[in-house]
Structure 1
Amino acid sequence: MQTDARVGVVVDGGGGQRGLSSGHGSVSVDKLSQQQQQQNLQNQSQIGTVSQLIAGGVAGALSKTCTAPLARLTILFQVQGMHNDAATMRKANIWREASRIVSEEGFRAFWKGNLVTIAHRLPYSSVNFYAYEHYKKLLHVIPGLQSRRESMSANLCIHFVAGGLAGITAASATYPLDLVRTRLAAQTNVMYYRGIGHALQTIFRDEGVLGLYKGLGATLLGVGPSIAISFSVYETLRSYWQLQRPRDSTVLVSLACGSLSGIASSTATFPLDLVRRRKQLEGVGGRARVYTTGLFGIFKHIIRTEGFRGLYRGILPEYYKVVPGVGICFMTYETLKMLLADMDSGL
């Protein structure tokens, strides 16, 4: 979920960033000039909520498609420790695995599971931002926080909690699609699932309705902090940057802060994301269960068999896709926002 978290921050950071920052909880609005505030409100009103969600969804889908090869490499590395011995895992590297995919599965295999990723991205983005705005409003009316609207610590707490709750809500609502995406992307030579519909039917038939929610516990533990860190780091860095250098390009600020927030959230929550992926693949194709203990037992098992570095297996391709993912998403969103604004003004 790290990528969803960071892309969500930046998508709303182009035109929607003013929407996140222009409410009562902003840490920098009262420090901006009157002219900048008016410009922010004008930019915010350029497109409506529906258009904003469409632009954000399309931008996120394009970003996911462009970085899909790195995303698949991340998943393949994350799940290696389930069935491979330590010697084989130590020999693995990004270039060797990429070469294996091309030679054994073909170049198009880099985009395995990308269709369901796009199908997951659209509702996830919508639920995430809708929930984030509403959770912020609810938190602002809490008596203790309401009296400290201008406090940086109070606003940071609001962004952190609202982002975490929004991530949990969005992840729970769209989880089966996320599970299917992992299983399709993890397939190599043996094609157990032929597509999204077949995967959903097969999982439901073989593992029951609960099979569609395998790994949900680790997901909720990880996605809340991931999105909370992304939102809070992004807004804190952006606010500080704008206070120190108010004339800098909004594009540059959003891209840099979004990338740094994505790296921060990935580093902090990657072990939970790795456990989530492995839980999602438990029992695929009738294979025996690998992990028979709870979450902490899985962590102990990974550290014992693969070492502490095993918890960060696949972190490099995850890092590599942060900047291009954020950049593509942000630029696409800005372009679509201008096109939709022109269309709305022409109607």
Structure 2
Amino acid sequence: MEAGVAAVGGDSTTKKFRHHHQQSWPPQPQISQIGTVNQLLAGGIAGAFSKTCTAPLARLTILFQVQGMHSDAAMMSKTSIWREALRIVNEEGFRAFWKGNLVTIVHRLPYSSVNFYAYEQYKKILKSIPVIHGLGENRHGDSFVHFVGGGLAGITAASATYPLDLVRTRLAAQRSAIYYQGIRHALHTICRDEGFLGLYKGLGATLLGVGPSIAISFSVYEGLKSYWYSQRPNDSTVVVSLGCGSVSGIASSTATFPLDLVRRRMQLEGAAGRARVYKTGLLGTFKHIIHTEGLHGLYRGILPEYCKVVPSVGIIFMTYETLKKLLSHGPFV
């Protein structure tokens, strides 16, 4: 699930410790180091590259999440990840693992741009509030600003770019029959068949998951990082960030996966001219899934999601840091 950038402050007891080990997750460079445009480029390219590398697992996650919605998907209820991967290769071809990935890449730059801009604006607003300003730059005040600002930025970015996320789900969920021919065709067809608001199906579940996702990632990452450095203060920042980021990603995915699954189901309501399955909104969708598929139905596709977390974190971190160094000498500094 996409979450807003929560810039995480350090919590060491000495300024020296904070200087060497303070690390945001996802990692964020200082503007004075590479400049705003280069920061957006680094973040956008790193995100797009990571998404492309893990696209096969992402598509498998979506296909398993939407099992049970329609009769043809119900036949997949006992299909393993390996069997579904073989089916994709045999029926759709190897390139089909990247269905919907183009719109994911298109989505990254505006999402990153809105997220970054909104985050900076929300930080200024929060710091201007007397009560928060009174806390100064101590650990609690700084963490509160990062946490709330990151959450609000995530909500803003998700809302602004949501139609692209919905189109990505529709394209990735297509199997042998092709109804949507591409990004432009999908946007036009959805507006024609379902109205403009059809582009925002499932937005409520998305926004509902932003806060918990950031809270869990923030808490697990900071707690684990603090403990790690208390035991092994000389370990590489890269190793600590990868390890803590992976664990925080798994914890966040586990806790918020049911909301993500409901979001995918609602995004596919009425897709390709099919009849609606869930007609009672977010809560009704939850009840319908539990009633027809049991509690475990809320976690369909969690295994490929777990498999995706660690390589995704590693790729985005390494790419981001590499681009940051390269762009620090670029024309937009």
Matching residue of 1:206 = 193
How far has the Cα of 1:159 moved from its partner? 3.2
Select between 230-239 and 212-221 the one with higher mean Cα deviation.
230-239
How far has the Cα of 1:243 moved from its partner? 5.2
Rounded Cα–Cα distance in structure 2 between residues aligned with 1:160 and 1:89: 40
How far has the Cα of 1:312 moved from its partner? 0.7
Equivalent residue runs for 1:114-125 within 5 Å: 114-125=101-112
Query: Sequence identity, in percent?
Result: 73
Rounded Cα–Cα distance in structure 1 between residues aligned with 2:18 and 2:145: 26
Normalised TM-score (structure 1):
0.86
How far has the Cα of 1:168 moved from its partner? 0.6
String of CA shifts for 1:227-271, please: whole Å, max 9, x gaps.
Answer: 343244334433554455442211111111211221121111111
How far has the Cα of 1:38 moved from its partner? 12
Number of equivalenced pairs: 327
Amino acid aligned to 2:255? A
String of CA shifts for 1:282-335, please: whole Å, max 9, x gaps.
Answer: 111211110111211211111111010000111111110111001011111111
String of CA shifts for 1:104-142, please: whole Å, max 9, x gaps.
Answer: 000000000000000011111221232223323322333
Equivalent residue runs for 1:1-347 within 5 Å: 1=1, 4-5=2-3, 20=7, 26-28=9-11, 31-33=14-16, 36=19, 44=30, 45-84=32-71, 88-149=75-136, 152-242=139-229, 244-343=231-330
Rounded Cα–Cα distance in structure 1 between residues aligned with 2:41 and 2:320: 9
String of CA shifts for 1:143-199, please: whole Å, max 9, x gaps.
Answer: 333333466455444333222211110000000000000000000011000000000
Rounded Cα–Cα distance in structure 2 between residues aligned with 1:95 and 1:39: 40
Q: CA RMSD in A?
A: 2.7
Could you tell me whether the CA contact under 8 Å between 1:73 and 1:317 is conserved in 2? yes
Rounded Cα–Cα distance in structure 1 between residues aligned with 2:216 and 2:21: 29
How far has the Cα of 1:280 moved from its partner? 0.6
Normalised TM-score (structure 2):
0.89
Distance 1:39 1:173, change over 3 A: closer
Matching residue of 2:26 = none
Amino acid aligned to 2:146? H
Rounded Cα–Cα distance in structure 2 between residues aligned with 1:82 and 1:252: 41
Could you say which structure has the higher helix fraction?
A: 1
Distance 1:93 1:103, change over 3 A: same
Rounded Cα–Cα distance in structure 2 between residues aligned with 1:205 and 1:100: 32
How far has the Cα of 1:35 moved from its partner? 9.5
Amino acid aligned to 2:3? A
Amino acid aligned to 1:76? L
Amino acid aligned to 1:224? G
Determine helix, strand or coil for the equivalent of 1:321: helix
- Unpaired stretches in structure 1, ≥5 consecutive residues: 10-19
String of CA shifts for 1:32-84, please: whole Å, max 9, x gaps.
Answer: 318937999xx733311211110111010000000000000000000012114
Determine helix, strand or coil for the equivalent of 1:33: helix
Distance 1:37 1:318, change over 3 A: closer
